[in-house]
Amino acid sequence: MIPIKPVAAAPALIAEGSGLTAPPPLALYVHWPWCVRKCPYCDFNSHEYRSDTGDADEVAYLAALIADLEAALPQIWNRPVISVFIGGGTPSLMRAETADALLAAIRMRLPLHPGAEITLEANPGTAEAAKFAGFRAAGVNRLSIGVQSFDDAKLSALGRIHDSAEAHRAIDLALKHFERVNLDLMYALPRQTLAEAERDIATAIRAGVSHVSAYHLTLEPNTPFHHAPPPLPDDDLAADMQEMVEASLAAAGFTQYETSAFAKPDQRCQHNLNYWNFGDYLGIGAGAHSKLSNHETIWREARHRNPRAYLAGAARGDFISTQQPVARADLPGEFMMNALRLNEGFLPGLFTERTGLPLSAIEAPALAARCAGLLETVEGHIRPTPRGRRFLNQLLAGFLD
């Protein structure tokens, strides 16, 4: 054991653990790159769906996804998959028959864990009763709906293609076919008041879903909102909205388990938990990213980003645009950047298990964060304090440095 150097008024946070013994749990991410229209705040790899140009050939893209998965099999041979997440873009644009063929191909090639969580993202403007029933029959067991707001004026300001009536209809349809439904909401929207944000959260609670993801609208680089910012609430009002969101959902029986994620009992998103616990994931599809471990090295990969380039690469059997190992010096920061998003933090042994590094690698910044009131140990978990959750970027900076 390596002793922790004593620091005044800062009891030890961690004790040494064991070495890397096995690869972590594995998840599968499938990227669908098309939307009806690109939103002005979105920096995801999404492209306007235009079937007339041949850029959105659903049959060709499905064939490319399957070929991509087959090419990646040697990297994950015989490893069970705990979850599948079909994201985008707007995956609910695909035909239910395409989803059925995709999931059948995945089952034929990968050992899916019994009861694996299979999520598909949907937007209210693409909600159709027959499609939702078809997605459920194909094996999707969790739906994530990008509502963002129930206020028509705010939806218009965000460039969304649906209105509040379509949002309610999509939720009703989803709850008829899926026991597990997540709603994506945003707050600190253009010209939004605290009362308007509160109405959105109250409406989401009344909808009867089991999971809510509530995000602060951010101005991401290389988006129209970044180049021409809309009038947004100031920092103090945005902080009030965040506190209101957390208090309202807690009062309704939701537990905040991650910075932006709130769940009813036993309804946490297993796919995202795997990310935050520094698990492995294989990403297939245009622009998809992977993190894959063996006993010595953790690798990161990215697929060709543009759908046209991805399909062209698929014809050559060439899917990967970049592939590189994660430097040993970067592992502590990468692990903490994920694990400290969780309100309950992590057990000390997980750091060594997932990185192969001794806990002494994070000893100094952990103690510094403890002295600053940003980090604590509760029931064996290293976790952010309430102050650390409010100033998460400051907390993470110590580990990234």
Amino acid at 283: G
Q: For residue 254, is pLDDT > 50?
A: yes
Determine the pLDDT at residue 8.
34
Q: For residue 7, is pLDDT > 50?
A: no
Burial class from Cβ neighbours inside 10 Å (0-12, 13-18, 19+) for residue 88 reads buried
Determine the pLDDT at residue 16.
41
Q: Name 227's Cβ contacts closer than 8 Å, sequence gap at least 6.
A: none
Neighbour-count burial for 170-209, b at 16+ CB within 10 Å, e otherwise = bbebbbebbebbbbbbbbbbbebeeebbeebbebbbebeb
* pLDDT tens-digit readout, 127-174: 787 899 999 999 999 999 999 999 999 999 999 999 999 999 999 999
Q: Where in the chain is the domain with CATH 1.10.10?
A: 1-16+329-401
Determine the pLDDT at residue 135.
97
- The predicted model scores a pTM of 0.93
Arithmetic mean of pLDDT, 301-311: 96
3-state secondary structure of 181: strand
Arithmetic mean of pLDDT, 78-90: 96
- CATH number of the domain at 26-275, please? 3.20.20.70
Cα–Cα distances in Å, from 36 out to 46, 124, 179, 186, 267?
Answer: 10, 12, 27, 20, 30
Arithmetic mean of pLDDT, 190-198: 98
Determine the pLDDT at residue 54.
54
Determine the pLDDT at residue 126.
75
Average pLDDT over the chain, rounded to an integer: 92
* Parallel, antiparallel or unpaired: strands 375-378 and 255-258: unpaired
* pLDDT tens-digit readout, 358-389: 999 999 999 999 999 999 999 999 999 999 99
Of residues 12 and 64, the one with the higher pLDDT is 64
Of residues 214 and 43, the one with the higher pLDDT is 214
What's the rounded Cα separation, in Å, for the pair 321 and 305? 8
Q: Within 13 Å of residue 203, how many CA atoms lie on the same side as its CB?
A: 21
Asked if 39 and 160 count as a contact pair (C-beta separation under 8 A), the reply is: yes
Determine the pLDDT at residue 129.
76
Q: For residue 298, is pLDDT > 50?
A: yes
Determine the pLDDT at residue 21.
64
CATH of 1-16+329-401, one of 1.10.10, 2.50.20, 2.60.40, 1.10.287: 1.10.10
Q: Where in the chain is the domain with CATH 3.20.20.70?
A: 26-275
Determine the pLDDT at residue 258.
97
